């Protein structure tokens, strides 16, 4: 609890670790090799991702942001893509839905990485499908 506000994880560190360690060994090696080969470019990509997020109120900036995340997912096989995006997002939405359906009637502020908001099934698309009003805050 911080400042009287409860912090609730939608995905724990252990769950993230389990996702990354569950991939086939060759996929893990491929992803590690890519990270090592592109180490010097990582800061530029993160800055580009942040810039695109902040300026994504225009369709071209949002497309650029989606391209960055999609290209990252395409580095590996389909199982990787499904686990990194689809499965994780659906689990997080289920946990968030459970929290929102509780009897507490509290207001929640949800913070997630930008990648979880872009590629369907994304957190916003899944929450909208459940009838929630989702708004980006910049």
> What pLDDT, in 10s, does the model give residues 76-103?
677 777 888 899 999 999 999 999 998 7
89 within 8 A of 123, measured Cβ to Cβ: yes
Half-sphere exposure of 118 (CA within 13 A, CB side): 22
Reading the block at residue 30, the tokens are 């491929």
pLDDT at 15: 92
Rounded CA-CA distance 8/57 in Å is 28
The pTM for the full model equals: 0.78
- Answer for the pair 76, 30: CB distance below 8 angstroms, yes or no: yes
Low-confidence residues of the chain, pLDDT below 50? none
Amino acid 129: pLDDT: 97
pLDDT of res. 119: 83
Backbone angles phi, psi at 47, to 5 degrees: -60, -40
What is the predicted pLDDT for the residue at 43? Answer: 82
- C-alpha closest to that of 108 among 8, 32, 3, 2: 8
Residue 41, pLDDT score: 83
């Amino acid at each position: 609890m911080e400042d009287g506000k409860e912090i609730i994880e939608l995905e724990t560190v252990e769950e993230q670790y389990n996702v990354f360690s569950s991939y086939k060994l060759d996929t893990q090696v491929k992803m590690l090799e890519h990270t090592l080969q592109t180490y010097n470019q990582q800061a530029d990509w993160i800055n580009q991702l942040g810039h695109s997020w902040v300026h994504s109120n225009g369709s071209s900036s949002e497309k650029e942001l989606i391209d960055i995340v999609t290209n990252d997912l395409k580095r590996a096989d389909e199982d990787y893509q499904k686990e990194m995006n689809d499965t994780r997002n659906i689990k997080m939405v289920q946990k968030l839905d459970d929290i929102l359906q509780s009897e507490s009637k509290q207001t929640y502020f949800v913070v997630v990485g930008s990648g979880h908001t872009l590629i369907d099934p994304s957190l916003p698309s899944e929450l909208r499908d459940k009838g929630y009003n989702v708004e980006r805050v910049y």
